[in-house]
Structure 1
Amino acid sequence: MKHSKLAACKLYISEGRNAAALEAIERAAGHHPQATITKKFPDYAYNRTRYTIVSYLIEEDEARVVDSPLRQALFAMAEEAYKTIELGTQCGAHPRVGVVDHISFHPLAQSTLHEVANLAKLVAADIGGRLHVPVLLYEAADPQGRALSSLRRELDYFTPNFMGNQWAGWSLPNVLPISPDEGPQCVDQDKGVVFVGASPWVDNYNIPVLTKDVDLVRTIARRVSARGGGLPGVQALALLHGDKLEIASMFLEPDRIGDKEVQREVELLASEEGLRVEKGYYTDLSKETTTKSYMKLASAD
C-alpha cells in the first residue's frame, strides 16, 4: 500500500428509517472514493445509522497530520445529512442530540492516537466553522481529555425525553449549558450538537433480553458496566428494541474484556431475575477485519 498510516471513523447519523436521506449521504461519500465505507449498520427501531469509514493520513511532517480523504468525505456526508434530516421532527429508541450525533476516530495500521486526534480536531473545526454546528470534543481530541460519557451526561443524553423510552430531537436547549469547542453556543434545533473525539478502537456489542421491564434491564446494564462496579472498560445502556429490550454495550478495552465475558455476566445477572437472554451480536467489524477490508477494497480500486 502507498499509505501505511490509516484512520477509521465511526459516523453516527440520527436516522435509520429514511432510505432516501441515507442514500443521499452515501452518494456524497461516493464523491471521495479514497475514503472507503467498510461497514454500514442501520437500525430502524433506534432510528440511527452508523458508517465506518477508513482512509489514509496525509502528514506535513512526522509531528502533524494536515489532511486525509476522510476529512473531505465526512464533511460531505455531514453537510448532506443536515440538508436531508431535521432533528426536530424525528425520534427513536436510541439517545440523540444531533443529526450527526457522534464522530469517533480510531488509529489503524501504523498511525497513532495523537495523529488521528489531530484529524478529529480538523473535522470538528470544519463542522463548527463551515456548517455552524456546536461541536464538543472528547478524549484524545480534547485538551482536557474529557470522557464522552461525562459530556453526554451534562446534556442529559441518557435520559429518555419522549413516550417513556424514546428520545426526541426537539428537546435540546436553545443555548448549550457548556461551551462548545467549535461552532456557535446557540443550537439550531434542526441540526443539534455533535460529539467528536479520538480513542483507541472500541467494539459495540448488543445483547437482547427477553422482557419488557425496562427498569430491571437498566439495573442489569448498570451492574455489568464499569461505572456500576462491573466489568472494567465496559459501558452499557438498556434500550427498547422492537418487542424486546437490549443491553447495548461498548468495550473500551476489547483486548481485555470482550463478548464472552460480557455475555456471561449479563446471563448470570439476568438469571438472578428469572430472565432469559439471547446471544448477543457485534454491530461492526473488528479492528483487524476493518483494516483488511479497507486494504482489499482500496487495492481493487
Structure 2
Amino acid sequence: MLSKSLVLPLIVCCEEKISMSSSRLGLRLAACLLNISEARRKHIVENIAKAALLGKNGKKHPEVSVLNIFSDQDYNRSVITIAASIDELGNSVLAACLEAFRSINMEVQEGIHPCLGAVDLIPIYPLAGVGVEECGAVARSLAESLVLQVPGSSVFLFGEADLPQKRTLVQRRKQLGWFTRRDFSALEPDLGAAPARRCGLTGIGASPYVMNCNVTIDSQDLALGKEIASAIRGSNANGLKGVQAMAFPHEGKIEIACNVESFEDQEATETSEDSQYVAYSVLGNHFSYVSPRYIEAQVKKLAGDQGIGTVGRALIGFTPQECKNCAEYAIKESIGEFWKIRGGVFM
C-alpha cells in the first residue's frame, strides 16, 4: 500500500508547478473513484484505466487523467481515480465501465471485500468550479447510459443522483445487503433489469469527496478489529464524524478500512493534516473531514488499550486537496497516465 509519506513529495512538486488556480485556468473539474471487483489480473485493471483516457475517435482526451490505481489482491478490488473536466467525466467513466464489464465476471469473482457488481461503485466528487448537484446530474446520466449499453447491467443510485430522497451510500448498501449478500436474484435496481449474475449490481452517485483510509493493527483477532471499527464509526455516539469503518483479515493481520466523508461546515477555516479536522472549499462551499493522522491515532489508542500495536496507515489515493492539485497539474500538462508517475499499479 502507498503510505502518505510517499505521496507528499509528488504533491508538493505538483503544487509548485501549478502557477495558476483552477479558476484562472478555466478548469471545472470532478473526480470518480471507480471501484471494480478485480485486482489479481494486472493487465485487466490497466486496460480499464486506459479505456477511460480514450475519446470516441480512439485518441487520448486532453481533459482526462487517471491519477491513481490502487489494487488489493486479498480484497480482489481496485480503485481507479479518474479526474476530468465535468463535461468529459461521464463519457470517460462510461468507457472504463464498458471495458470492465467485458473483462470481469461476477459468477467467478472471489475476494474478502464485500461487493455486488463487476463495477461495484461509481462515486463522483466535485474538485474545482463545480457543485455536487452538477456531479449528481452527471451520475444520473451515466447510470442511464450504462444500462442502455451493457445488457444485464443494473444500477442503484445514492447521494445527489438519488432524487428526491438523496439517500446516502451507507443507507443504500444496508437496504441492498451489500455487506453480506452475494445472491443477486432478489435485488431490485433503480435502473435496468434484475441484475444478471455476470454483471451484478452497480452503485452510482455523487457527494462531497470521500477518502479511503486504512489502518492495520498488529493482530489476527478479527473480533478486536470489529470492536475498534465500531468504536470509531461516525454512527457511534463517541465515534468520528463522517467515518464508516469495517475490519477485514488482510495479509496476515487485521485492517481497519475507513471511508472518510467530507461534510458541509460553514464555519470551517483552512487547516492542516495535524488537526483533528481538515477544512477545504469547492465553489464557495466549505467542507471538513477527519484527518487520516487523527484516525490512525485513535485506532492506535484503542488497539494499545488491548496491548496491540499498529503497523501502518494507507491513504488509498488522495485527500480532496491532493486530488484537486494533481488533477489540475495532470490536465494542464496533458498527462493522461498520471498514475505511472506514482510508481505503478500495485502499491
| Farther off after superposition, 137-146 or 26-35 | 26-35
Please tell me the residue identity of whatever aligns with 1:10.
L
The partner residue of 2:155 within 104, 129, 135 is: 135
Kindly indicate whether residue 256 of structure 2 is the aligned counterpart of residue 247 of structure 1: yes
1:148 corresponds to: 169
> Is contact 2:53–2:66 with CA below 8 Å preserved after alignment?
no
Q: Deviations over 1:132-170 (max 9, x none)?
A: 4111111111111111112112232223x7xxxxxxxxx
Please say if residues 210 and 244 of structure 1, whose CA atoms lie closer than 8 Å, have aligned partners that are also in contact: yes
Which runs of at least 4 in structure 1 moved beyond 3 Å after TM superposition?
none
Corresponding residue to 2:241 among 232, 235, 238: 232
Q: Cα distance, 1:56 vs. partner?
A: 1.1
Question: What fraction of aligned residue pairs are identical, expressed as a percent?
Answer: 29
Q: CA deviation at 1:2?
A: 5.7
How much has 1:261 moved relative to structure 2? 2.2
Aligned twin of 1:62: none
TM-score w.r.t. the length of structure 2 is: 0.76
CA distance in 1: counterparts of 2:184 and 2:119, whole angstroms: 17
Name the SS of the counterpart of 1:81 in structure 2. Answer: helix
Q: Are positions 1:48 and 2:59 aligned together?
A: no
1:182-221 equivalences in 2 (<5 Å)? 182-184=191-193, 186-221=194-229
Distance in 2, matches of 1:4 and 1:223, equals 40
CA distance in 1, matches of 2:327, 2:123: 17
The aligned counterpart of 2:272 is none
Instruction: Using structure 1 for the length normalisation, give the TM-score.
Output: 0.87
Q: What code does the residue aligned with 2:112 have?
A: A
Mapped partners of 2:144, 2:83: distance in 1: 20
Q: Distance in 2 between matches of 1:297 and 1:267?
A: 35
Q: Deviations for 1:165-202, whole angstroms, at most 9, x for unmatched residues?
A: xxxxxx323231x3x22111x11101100011111111
Preserved CA contact (<8 Å) 2:37 2:120: yes
Deviations 1:208-229 (A, max 9, x none): 0111111111111011101233
- Is the 1:3–1:56 Cα contact (8 Å) retained in structure 2? no
**Cα distance in 2, alignment partners of residues 27 and 140 from structure 1:** 28
Partner of 1:164: none
Gap runs ≥5 in structure 1: 58-67, 162-170
CA contact 1:172–1:192 (8 Å) conserved in 2: no
Deviations 1:118-143 (A, max 9, x none): 11111111112221411111111111
Greater RCO, CA 8 A, separation 6+: 2
CA distance in 1, matches of 2:311, 2:246: 16
Aligned-partner residue type, residue 210 of structure 1: D
Unaligned runs of 5+ in 2: 1-23, 56-60, 263-277, 279-287, 335-347
Query: 1:241 & 1:22 partners in 2: Cα distance?
Result: 21
The equivalences for 1:12-27 within 5 A come to: 12-27=35-50
Matched residue SS, 1:103: strand
DSSP 3-state at the match of 2:107: helix
Instruction: Provide the C-alpha distance between the structure 1 equivalents of 2:36 and 2:110, rounded to a whole number of angstroms.
Output: 12
Q: In structure 2, what is the Cα distance between the partners aligned to 1:98 and 1:175?
A: 14
Q: Which residue of 1 aligns with 2:267?
A: none
What is the SS of the residue equivalent to 2:226? Answer: helix
Q: Quick check: 1:86 aligned with 2:105?
A: yes
Per the alignment, residue 179 of structure 2 pairs with 158
1:266 alignment partner AA: V
